[in-house]
């Protein structure tokens, strides 16, 4: 009888935990949805005809191979989302109104990461797989963003060229 009660408590605990996790997932998705809506209120898609000529010229000189360019205006900064190459690698570039590029984020092959990054991630995240790799350039500073996943955990990381973690958050 005592074993049965202990088993029931364990089963009830599992059910309660599953209900709690379901509620937590729903809350997380709701917050994400509301955040995206809020961010959308501050970002405005604009046609290329409304982008200053100096911004377009700077962009086209730096990325003449750009295809499917979409423009947004966020807090006075112009953002161009576009594709390049045969397989359509995604890029995002942020430009000031004078045409100065302040940030560039691009799809990046895992195998092209610096060896120091790969070595550090293998050591710190043994048993994880790396996904969704991006290279981020801001001025002279280069960093890399990616996800590290295994069966039970998922981390979003930003690291420098040496593999030092600049930002880490559970996903």
Domain with 63 in it: 47-107
Tell me what pLDDT residue 38 has: 46
Phi-psi region of 139 (alpha: psi -120 to 50; beta: other; left: phi over 0): left
Q: What is the pLDDT of residue 98?
A: 97
Structure-block tokens of residue 58: 């700077």
Residue with the two structure tokens 């990325």: 63
User: Residue 128: which residues within 8 A CB-CB, separation 6 or more?
Assistant: 121, 148, 149, 150, 153, 155
Residues 90 and 130 both lie in one domain: no
153 shares a domain with 114: yes
- Examine the domain organization and report whether 53 and 38 are in the same domain: no
The answer to whether residues 81 and 131 belong to one domain is no
Residue 60 DSSP one-character state = H
Q: Residues with Cβ < 8 Å from 43, sequence gap 6 or more?
A: 72, 73, 74, 79
pLDDT in tens, 5-60: 554 566 666 666 666 665 566 555 554 455 444 444 457 899 999 999 999 999 99
42 and 87 co-located in one domain: no
- Rg of the chain over Cα atoms, rounded to whole angstroms, equals 22
Q: For residue 158, what is the domain's CATH number?
A: 3.10.450.360
Cα separation, 9 vs 7, in Å, equals 5
Task: Report the predicted TM-score, pTM, of the whole model to 2 decimal places.
Answer: 0.70
With beta carbons less than 8 A apart as the criterion, state whether 103 and 138 touch: yes
Q: How many structural domains does the chain have?
A: 3
């Amino acid at each position: 009888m005592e074993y049965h009660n202990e088993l029931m408590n364990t089963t009830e605990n599992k059910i309660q935990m599953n209900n709690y996790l379901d509620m937590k997932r729903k809350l997380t998705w709701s917050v994400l949805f509301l955040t995206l809506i809020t961010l959308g209120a501050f970002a405005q898609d604009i046609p290329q005809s409304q982008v200053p000529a100096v911004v377009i010229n700077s962009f086209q000189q730096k990325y003449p191979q750009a295809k499917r360019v979409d423009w947004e205006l966020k807090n006075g900064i112009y953002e161009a989302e576009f594709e390049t190459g045969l397989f359509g690698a995604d890029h995002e570039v942020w430009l000031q109104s004078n045409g100065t590029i302040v940030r560039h984020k691009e799809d990046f092959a895992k195998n092209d990461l610096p060896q120091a990054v790969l070595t550090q991630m293998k050591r710190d995240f043994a048993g994880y797989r790396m996904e969704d790799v991006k290279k981020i350039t801001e001025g002279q500073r280069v960093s890399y963003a990616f996800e590290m996943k295994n069966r039970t955990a998922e981390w979003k990381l930003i690291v420098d060229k040496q593999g030092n973690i600049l930002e880490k958050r559970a996903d």
